[in-house]
Structure 1
Amino acid sequence: MRAFFAVVILCAASFFSTVSARAEDPIDTTRTMIEEQITAFLKDDAETAYSFAAPGIRAMYPDKNLFFAMVKKSYEPVYHPGNYAFGRSRSIDNGALIYHEVLISGRDGKDWTAIYQVTRQPDGSYRINGVQIMPDADSKGI
């Protein structure tokens, strides 16, 4: 009986360490962050959307309202996607720089590819450092 409980405890410990390791995966972490920013855009929540911007973006747009206006004007498919799905992802330098391909179907019926560049900050957090958007949602790779 003790052996049975020991096996159960070891299995549970293994499960929780695997879940913890996955939670710290930079690809998963940054993908979740991008989804949270898109959700903030969809809710017109400028403050939350702006919170994901890297310091370089914040330097160019020092106010959340300026940032939000820029996104609305220049990144409509990202600001209000009809639908989106993640394509390929690429991690560079052990997660210091991450690229995510996001395939977007715009509300206007056009397809787009957005390439997100996400950088790890000195405190270990991640912030979106830029987005390049191109017409056509065919995955070109990163």
Structure 2
Amino acid sequence: MRRLFFAIILLLMPLAGTAQTELPANPAIEDVIQRQMEAFASRDVNTAWTFASPTIQQLFQHPTYFGAMVERGYPMVWTPGEVNFPSLREEEGRPVQRVQIVDGNGRVHLLDYVMVEINGRWRIAGVTILRGQHLGV
């Protein structure tokens, strides 16, 4: 279990020190993230699972395990409030969508979603909570 935790941390670490290029908004990427959050909010982990990349699916092996990880580690994604998409950039050839979530307590969270396109469909390849960048209460 400890090894799995560290593997997740390494997979989800931000792409530090890489060249970044700002990109125009991509409604298809925003839609995938929004739809996954809606699935989590309605506790439909099977649907939320379909938005995860094959690498994430292989790592967790089953939607139930994936859902449990999100519920414990990403409560603002499990029960999102207001969601905004302030910026999209490219890092190491992959799009990284910045997401701002205002949770039920009014606390603002910033997350980076690493995206990958597979057979013309956007999938979520990793999520990093930007620690120390909470805004508000």
For normalisation by structure 1, the TM-score amounts to 0.70
Q: Which entry has the higher C-alpha Rg, 1 or 2?
A: 1
2:25–2:87 CA contact under 8 A, matched in 1: no
Equivalent residue number for residue 55 of structure 1: 54
- Alpha-carbon distance, 1:83 to partner: 1.5
2:25–2:88 CA contact under 8 A, matched in 1: no
Do structure 1's residue 108 and structure 2's residue 126 form an aligned pair?
Answer: no
Which protein is richer in helix relative to its size? 1
Residue of structure 1 aligned with 2:123, choices 110, 122, 127: 127
1:27–1:91 CA contact under 8 A, matched in 2: no
Q: For structure 2, which runs of at least 5 residues remain unmatched after alignment? A: 1-23
> What's the CA shift string for 1:16-67, capped at 9, x where partnerless?
xxxxxxxxx9822111111111111111111110000001101111100000
- Cα 1:51–1:26 change in 2 (3 A) is farther
1:116–1:128 CA contact under 8 A, matched in 2: yes
- Structure-2 separation of matches of 1:126 and 1:31: 10
Match of 1:117, SS? strand
Q: For structure 1, which runs of at least 5 residues remain unmatched after alignment? A: 1-24
1:81–1:104 CA contact under 8 A, matched in 2: yes
Residue pairs, 1:50-89, within 5 angstroms: 50-89=49-88
Greater RCO, CA 8 A, separation 6+: 2
- Alpha-carbon distance, 1:91 to partner: 4.1
Aligned-residue identity in percent:
28
For the aligned residues, what is the CA RMSD? Answer: 2.1
Which residue type is aligned with residue 125 of structure 1?
R
- Alpha-carbon distance, 1:137 to partner: 4.7
